[in-house]
Chains A and B, each alone.
Chain A
Amino acid sequence: MFGPNSILDMAKGALLAHQACIQVTGENISNVDTPGYARRAVTLAEAGVINYTPGQVGLGVEATEVVRYFDKMVERLYYDQSALASRWDTTYASLSSVETMFNESDGYGISNSLSKFFTAWSNLSQSPEDTGSRQELLNSTDTLCSLLKQTDADLSKLQQQADEEIAQEVDSANKLIQDIAELNRQLNLYDQPGSNNANNLYDQRASKLRSLSNIMGINVIDNGSGDITVTTEGGQVLVDGVEHYSLEFTAAQTRTALTPSSNFDGEVFFTGNDTYEYTLQCVNDGYVSNGNAAQFRVSIDGGRTWLTDENGQEAHYSARPEDGKINIGGLTIWFGENGDPLGTPTGQMEEGDTFTIIPKKNVYWVKNTSTKENITPLTYANGDDDSKRITSGTLAGLFNFRDNYLGDYQDKLDALSKSLVWEVNRLHSQGAGLEKFGTTVGTYSVAHDDRALGEDSTGLVYGDKLQAGSSMFYVYNADTGLLVSGAALDFSDAAGVQNFDPSAHSLEDVAAAFNRTFNGAVTATIVNHKLQITAEDGYQFAFGTDSTGLTAALGLNTFFQGSTAQDIGINDKVGGDLDFICAGHVNGAGEANSGDNTISLALSELKDKSVRLSTLRDGVTSQTLSGYYNGLVGDVGADVSAAQYNYEFNAALANDLDSRQQETMGVNLDEEMTNLIKFQHAYTAAAKLVTLADEMMQTLLSLKS
């Protein structure tokens, strides 16, 4: 029924509704700069009707719910895009700091110092006996070695930093996962769709999901009534309603995956570190032993492609116990009993048994304490990402940076150093300097004195470069300087000179060969697993042509010592006395003359020679040393350039999606101002209605008195 009371009621309803509207508009205006805030609006609806005369009458307005403007579809797309943009942003930023290490645009760097190294040899060939030229050569070499060491150390430092950042990101991710699960729980409690929309909780959850997506890329599945399941892009569940799982960033491990029929009782052990994941798969049944053993092949991309040897055939390695451990890439690998690295497993390894070695810190998805899945990003040889692992987000960017880029650059620097040292030493060790030796010790050691030098398990760094042949050695009278005898090393007591055989002769055999061939003039002994040659009183010695590579591989009369970018340096003997730099050689008359410059000429020509360089990922290439390093600089530049391009491209797409979301959920001050005016007018009008109803009431009451 009509009357002033119902009008008053209606006015009161209008006032309250519009108060709510103004309140919500006020909140929008206050939160115009709050990141992640989705604008709210009040839904007004008629407050019911009454069937009465003269007709149906409304009861006024009612504020039914506060809704939140949010585009779920665009948000889903945005997660994907922003994860990609984060990945490339991290990659680009990290690679930029690597680029400064390889930047030679002002003319100084490794390429320049490699060049100077070779010209120093050419300089030396002009006047081989000149101390000044020799000192200059040593200085140039010093610069080159310290630059290589510095760059390698810087790359390692960056890897450590990446590890620290990853640890932080994993921590953040775990926290976010927990928070999201907690928010889900609260939403379950407080959210009543249609009457009490928990808008704030939705906003919080949306912003946490965005942060999580930036870290690792997520898929969100809406289960209805506010419940969501968050998984990684590879399918591992992170949050399921109020349940959540976690990520773990742990140290190196190995895994074993045996075929059902196998009863192998061992596991794989390793030392060393590398940035690849090694997958070993048995291809020939057998036992673990030092003789005829099981054979396996190795993959560094999870089993898609297998490593090949120098001839392009799939490389097969033998399964050895601890005292026969072999080197593959940057690791030393052997098989031991379960839990006992020194024992030898007795069971037979079956074809198909797979062992995984993860020599670096990795991130795992932890379902429960016994189920962990490795979700570290893995890139196949053709550049594709393994889709069952993390493929985007900051984590992907950091892991990619640490493993693929930095690992690749370090591998190439190591390959360069290894080849540089070998090629220079190979030529240098066949020459003679201004002084003859009284005693010298090799710089490379073996692990087993009695194993053949050409075998992997003997532990000689350049053992695989040894060939069959022999090595010339010359003994001189220390007082007169005249040649006493010069001969090739004889490796057995049989008649005639027996040649060196890398697959049969060990370090002990080499020492015996020296003692046999030059009995009384020199003594060869093994000290600390290195070969030491000492001349007897009154004798001196020099080295000559060597078709085996023995002197270079053992480190006798060499120029460099070490074999990686970390330990490359000048041989201590040469660094201590310039006269031991071999510019010349022992000629046909048995003399090493001071004007002889043949070896220095050959070494300066090394800059134009193509040498073999090999890395695990790229195999064997044949290039000049400078060409290889310059190519590495180009690689770094191309990687940075590609990262920048990807970043800008993906960031632009992400921004675009974000703008579209902002279109829906953002606050426009002009619009809110307009709404404010609208609601204010409505409020004023409703207030007017109150006054009117009050006047009506007054009029009625004044009728009586």
Chain B
Amino acid sequence: MRVTQQMLYDNYVRNMNSSLGKLMDLNSQASSMKRINKPSDDPSGMVRVLNHRDTLSAINQYQENIDTAQGWLNASDENLLQVSNIITQAKTLAEQAATGTLTSDNREQISYQVRSLFEQLIGLANLEYDGKSVYAGQKTDGPAFQEILWMSTNDADFAADTGFYIDGDSDTTILIQFYDKTGTLQPGESMSLSNANLGLRFSADGGETFTEMDVPDPAGGQVQIDLAGTGVRLTLTNPAAQVKLTDPANYNDAGGTWLWLRPSAQYMGDDSSDSGDVEVVAMGQGTDQLQSWATGSFGPNMTVRVDGYLSNGSLVRGPVTMGGQTMVYSYSTDGGVNWITGNVQAPNGVASNMSLSISGGLLHIASNGGNVIQAGSQFFVHARSSAIEIAISSTEKVRINEVGMDIFGGVYQDPDRTVDANGNRIHLSSQNSTVAFSKNGSSMLAGSNASPTKNLLEAMGNLIGFLETNNQGGIQNALASLTLAQEHVLNAAASVGGRENRLEVASTILDGLEYNENERISSIEDADMSELLTALSQQEIIYKAVLQSSSTIMQMSLLNYV
């Protein structure tokens, strides 16, 4: 084989370049301590590294989220224990006041303490963490509870007959009694509010002094009673309601209808309609002939779509008759981006309504003029939401706030009835509000038939009312309610505690996952130090050898000898 000059020099240059190139590669690995310095070093390894890095950053974010969640839940936990302490103090005071040996002055003294405990409770219920109300549902920008005046009565019939609302405010409980101005009717008998002979007397100092006045004439379908000198105006909405009369001479006659205007709290926050009917908006041709509602607990963008009916096992996209055909429908939890199709509902033989099973609950459709549902009709389940949830892993979310009404009670104005037809705000009244935990919807303790309630703030308000008006029976009822309320608050605290435990566990798991991810990334990406240094010194030797041998050959030539 002939060897020529150009071949020789080409060879030298090529070999030197190639071993120098390898040396440079190793050098850059050594300076970055990574095996993969660009995607072409290991393409599939690079993809895995990037994917692991994504996971790692997600894990870090979850850890931050858990931190925040722990802050909220810890604050809530401590707070609820504090609330329980206050309830204990209130119970002690109530027990004291319930004994028969106390005078009205004693009860008055206790009432000041209980009023102060009530204010503390409202303060605790308006707990803020990080500038946001913890117990107001999603309305975190305002306080959860507001102090208001509310009414209790000992007359169950009167409570059922009329509604009321209260304007103004008072520092002390106001006691109202009714009597016959003419003195003809006996105490205990009934007289209608619109009766011109009905007189009223009220006391703002616990029953020591009473002011007498006439019951105003009904105006605009209501009876508006301005209690002069107190700053409070009571409006009763049914002028035909009957009140029982008290003995004009006896201020302690319990046979008549007594009204206590005493403090309570209105819940200003958010609720979720887990326990009631969820509003459903129907969209599509023919849906005006149907009625629809849902029950259950749903996410924000729940949509249901009717596809058609099953005929001989295959889908026909046509109108579905309720009760006669098997309906095929789909639903989506993200507003229509992804549909879960192929759900069927067999006919139940009833032609006027049907219920469809969807994620989170049931959708009910009833006939309202027609019972045919067109294919393509859609139903949007518009659920209320109050929970603030934080993601602590890719599959888990934890709620960090509470619905204050469910823990502390209070009075809640129905959000569907806060605005009238002209867009003006409707005043809080007994007809557009519910009292938490109460079954009949109104908040009146009807004498010896009053049953204890878990509604803490209402119970405290009643307690204040009865203490300030020296009513031993009422105080005993309030005491029973306080016991129930305290249990309820401790249950809520336990639920918070349970979530805190979940966070602990999740945090530990995330630590483990983070460690694992870091290890994985390192094993793919990092250069093995000992291997690297060995290769580096090896390559150095190779390069030196190439240089040496090339220079040796280059120097030899026939010209040296001729």
Contact = CB atoms under 8 A, between A and B. Distances in A.
Given A115-B54, A588-B273, A673 B559 contact: yes
Contacts of A480: 419, 423-425
Contact of A546 (B41, B140, B336): B336
B531 interface: no
B286 A670 contact: no
Given A594-B141, A663-B1, A669-B558, A545 B39 contact: no
Nearest to A487: B281
A499 B46 CA distance: 48
Contacts of A607: 54, 58
Interface residues of A, number: 98
B380 A488 contact: yes
Interface string A593-615: 11111110110110110000000
Contacts of B46: 104-105, 633-634, 637
Interface string B490-507: 000000000000000000
A593 B380 contact: no
A1 interface: no
B516 interface: no
B50 A633 contact: yes
Contacts of B391: 122, 125, 601, 604-605
A83 interface: no
B423 A482 contact: yes
A547 B54 contact: no
Contacts of B376: 468, 499
By secondary structure, the B interface counts as mixed
B141 A129 contact: yes
Interface string A544-555: 011111000000
Interface residues of B, number: 93
Interface in A82-140: 99-100, 102-107, 111-112, 114-116, 118-119, 122-123, 125-127, 129
A477 interface: yes
B53 interface: yes
Nearest to A497: B283
B284 A549 contact: no
B42 to A, nearest CB: 7
Contact of B53 (A112, A430, A599): A112
Contact of A589 (B36, B270, B562): B270
Contacts of A483: 419
B294 to A, nearest CB: 10
A638 B43 CA distance: 5
Contacts of A100: 38
B82 interface: no
Contacts of A546: 335-336
A431 B62 CA distance: 23
Interface stretch (B228-236, B257-265, B382-390, B534-542): B382-390
A584 interface: yes
A499 B285 contact: yes
B56 to A, nearest CB: 9
Given A127-B132, A640-B39, A664-B2, A670 B382 contact: no
A33 B9 CA distance: 10
A630 B47 contact: yes
Nearest to A489: B283
Contacts of B47: 630-631, 633-634, 637
Interface string B47-90: 10011011001101110110010000000000000000000000
B415 interface: yes
A637 B336 contact: no
B44 interface: yes
A45 interface: no
A635 B43 CA distance: 7
Interface in B321-377: 332, 334-337, 376-377
A122 B65 contact: yes
A677 B561 CA distance: 13
B2 A116 contact: no
Interface stretch (B177-185, B248-256, B295-303): B295-303
B130 A469 contact: no
B562 A598 contact: no
B65 A126 contact: yes
A637 B42 contact: yes
Interface string A619-631: 0000000110011
12 contacts: A104-B46, A118-B58, A119-B61, A126-B390, A467-B336, A480-B419, A498-B285, A499-B283, A545-B380, A588-B382, A588-B383, A663-B7
Interface of B: 1-7, 10, 14, 32, 34, 36-44, 46-47, 50-51, 53-54, 57-58, 60-62, 64-65, 68, 130, 132, 136-141, 270-271, 273, 278-279, 281-289, 299-301, 303, 305, 332, 334-337, 376-378, 380, 382-385, 388-391, 394, 397, 401, 415-416, 418-419, 423-425, 525, 557-559, 562
Given A35-B6, A126-B68, A487-B281, 15 more contacts: A32-B6, A104-B50, A111-B50, A122-B65, A477-B419, A546-B336, A547-B335, A547-B380, A585-B385, A587-B270, A588-B383, A590-B415, A633-B46, A636-B43, A637-B40
